[in-house]
Structure 1
Amino acid sequence: MVRTVLGVVGALLAIYVVLGIVIPAVFGLLKFVFVLGVVALIVVAAVTIVSKMSK
């Protein structure tokens, strides 16, 4: 009986950890990568425009 209760408590704790820590961390990482990609796109566009104007 104790083993079953501890198994259920462990499963609930694992679900809590996944929903509370892992998923927000993944979305935060994806948001960071997206912002970094947008900044890189702006920098590449700016360098391309400046290099075409100087020719």
Structure 2
Amino acid sequence: MSRIVLGVLGVLLALYVVFGFVLPALFGLLKFALVLAVVAFVVVALVTAVAKSKK
């Protein structure tokens, strides 16, 4: 009986860790990567526009 209770508690703890720590960390990392990609796109667009206007 205690084995079943400990197994259920282990599963609940694992779900708490996944939904409490891992998923928010992944979403934060994806948000950071998205912001970085937007900034890189703007820089490339500005450099391209300046290079074409110099010709």
**TM-score of the superposed pair, with normalisation by structure 1:** 0.96
Distance in 2 between residues matched to 1:4 and 1:52, nearest whole Å: 69
CA offset at residue 35 of structure 1? 0.2
Aligned to 2:25: 25
CA offset at residue 41 of structure 1? 0.4
Identity %: 65
Report how many residues are paired.
55
Cα RMSD after superposing both structures:
0.5
Opposite residue 50 of structure 2, the aligned amino acid is V
**TM-score of the superposed pair, with normalisation by structure 2:** 0.96
> After the TM superposition, which parts of structure 1 deviate over 3 Å for at least 4 consecutive aligned residues?
none
Distance in 2 between residues matched to 1:49 and 1:16, nearest whole Å: 49
Runs (5+) with no aligned partner, structure 1: none
